[in-house]
Each structure stands twice: as C-alpha cells, then as structure tokens.
Structure 1
Amino acid sequence: MVRPPRFDRDRLLDAAVRLAASTGPTGVTMSAVAGDVGAPSGSVYHRFSGRTALLAEVWLRTVERFQEGCSEVLEAPTDPLRAVCAAARHVVAWSRAHPQEASLLLYRAEDFGQANWSEEHIRRAHRGNKRVRATLSVLAAGLGADGPRAAERVELAVIVLPLSVVRLHVWAGHPVPAHAEDLAEECAAALLGVPSPSTPATG
C-alpha cells in the first residue's frame, strides 16, 4: 500500500496560514513554511513552483472556504430576510471557528501577490467572486431592490459589515465574543431597512 506523503499540500498550506496570521503575508516564504513543519525545502518546491504560487494558494484556499460557507447559507431555500440574517451571523461564526483564516481575510489579494499570480489563479479568484456576487444580486432582488447599487448594499450588509465586527476583535488580539453574531445581524438589518429577529420588540 502506498503511504500518503508526509508533507502534503494542505499541511504546507496550514503552516502558511499560521505564518500569515502571526506575521502577515510577508512572513510566508518557502523556507519559513518548510521550517514550520520540519520539512526539507524541496518538499515545498515540489508542491508549489515558487513563493508567488504559494501565496496565491494560501489566499485562494482561505477565501474559497469562506465563500463556500457563505454561498451555502445564501443559497439555502429560505426567505430573503432570513438569508440576510443567517449570512451575517455565519460570517462571524465562521471567523470564530477559524480565527487564523479570518485574520487573513482582513488583508487583500494584492497583499498576497495577486499582481504576479498565474492565469489559473486569477480565474479561480474570479469564479468565486462571480458566484458570490450573483447570489447577492438574487438576494437583493428578493428584498425588492435591483441593480448594482442594491447588490453592493447587500454585500456590505452580509459580508463587509460582519467582517468589520470581526476585525475590531482580531486587531485587538481578543477572541470574537458571543454577542458578535447578534451585532452583525442587527447591523445588516439596519443597513437594509429590515427588522432583525435578534432585536427584542419594543412598545
């Protein structure tokens, strides 16, 4: 029986995520990844053609995993309001469950060398972004709004604002608190002008 490789791509990428989370993208080098897992440098070069490819894979794997979870929530068969609230909460919950990956999302693709990515890496990035934006457009239409501005407002509500809630705590070096989901949901609902189920009724 063939033994699985000791230093497979995911293990090396996990090390790169740890390095990026602790030192930023500049700390992700081929030698640093090799040193983190105790692998020979050749093992890293065998799986990634160079640092540019490594950085692209670190960024894309993180973003794709994040986008996949968001898309599953947004595309679930439910009414648009519930989808908005569930997506805003999911962003915070995912970030709490994956704190190192969440810290990477506070950077930009440009910080991970996007200007020098291969065409395939660029296509992967575009595919993921296109899927999310298409889903957000459908959600905006379901909320009675249409057009690029409405889709951008929904993106702000369900992704950008919740990530901002996460950022406050990540930058301060604190765990994301339990109430952050409610706060993200309330912000999303306020931006879109819809009631938030987590806000107690008054009167």
Structure 2
Amino acid sequence: MANRTFRVYGQAYAESGDVSVVMSVNGTQVFSGNVSDSSTVRNGAAPTTENHLWSWDLDEDTLGDLTVSITATGGELCIGPMDCNRVKTGQIIPPSWFQTNVEPYYPDNVSAENQQYIATQLGTALGTDLHAALAAGTKTGELTQAEKDAIRAANRVTDNTTYRRQQEIRESVQINGADIGWTTDAEKEGNWPILSDGDVLTYTWKDFNPDNEWYPD
C-alpha cells in the first residue's frame, strides 16, 4: 500500500544553528533532521505560530493508537497540529446509494443486481473472495469486519495532494519520563508540548483514523 505523508506544524527557536528532531512512531524512526525554521522566539505565552517544521511518512494501513516519541536538540521546539494526505476526498458509490439499496435489505435480502453493481464499481480491490461472491450475487449473512473494511477501503477516493488537519488526542503525555498533567480532551488535543534542548516527548495518539467512518459511509 501507499504511504501517507504527515506534516508537523509549530515553532522552533535556536540561538545558533537549527533545532533538530528525531521522531519515532510505533518504535520505528520516521524522521531525523533539522526543522525547516528555527527563528521563532516564543513570546512568553502559549505558542501559536504554525510553521511547517517537518514531514514524515506512515503506511496508510496503519490506524488506531500510535505510539509517538520526539526528541529535540539545539533549541526550543513547540509542537502544534498535524495534517496528512491520502484522506478520503470522495466515494465511488455514494452513501445515499447504500442507504437506498443495501441497508433496508441487509443482511440476507440485498438483490443480486445490487450486489453485482457493488462488484462492478469497486472491482477486485474488494479482495478475491468478496468480489466473487458479490459478482455472483450470492452474498448473504452478516459481513465480517474485514469485509466491511474491504468495502470501505475500495470505495474511498484519495489523492496525494489534498491534506486534512487531524484530530490528535495525545494520551499519556510525558517529557523525559514525567507526566505533564494533561487530563481533559481539550488539553490533550489543544495544548502544544514545549520541548527544551535535549527533551524527549512521548505520548499515544489515540484512535488515529483520518476518515473516522464505518461501512458504508
């Protein structure tokens, strides 16, 4: 599968040279290098300047909880929001079609004609067995979660140029192994971690899903 590119925003300041970052996700290093701008001095208050600092890639099939580690050296790093590409920009079969032609008859009475329509529109991206059953018009019974996921994935229209800001709920946020005391969702999503030279930030990005959807929508 393709990689999804994430862009990290925030601000950084180094008295000389550049702030550098090492970032790992789920135990794998995804970025190591200098941020793109190290000239923004924080004005004593919460940081607000959203410079694009660095980018990193992750297989687009990786969803759910993400374990993140970020180390900053060379100055101060304030980590703001992220966005990513390969988000859903449309659907091959619109939700209204599923609502009219599938939901009232699911799971045992979806017509062969409508099953074949799904197979034709979504093709072999459904997987060999599911595509064959739908193409034959013989699929009955509850879909497994894997089959729902296959229909959802095959029905998504994505591209590499559209980026969408993500809801990033940071759980178990620690700097240098010490909990920083964020307890509310507003804090976990809205606050920017501030790292000094040599600090290590760790947290869990809860329930990452750029689409936040369930079959068929």
TM range (shorter): under 0.3
Higher RCO (CA 8 Å, separation ≥ 6 residues): 2
Relative to its length, the structure with more helix (as a share) is 1
TM-score, structure 2 length as denominator? Answer: 0.21
Higher strand share: 2
TM-score, with structure 1 as normaliser:
0.22
Structure with bigger gyration radius: 2
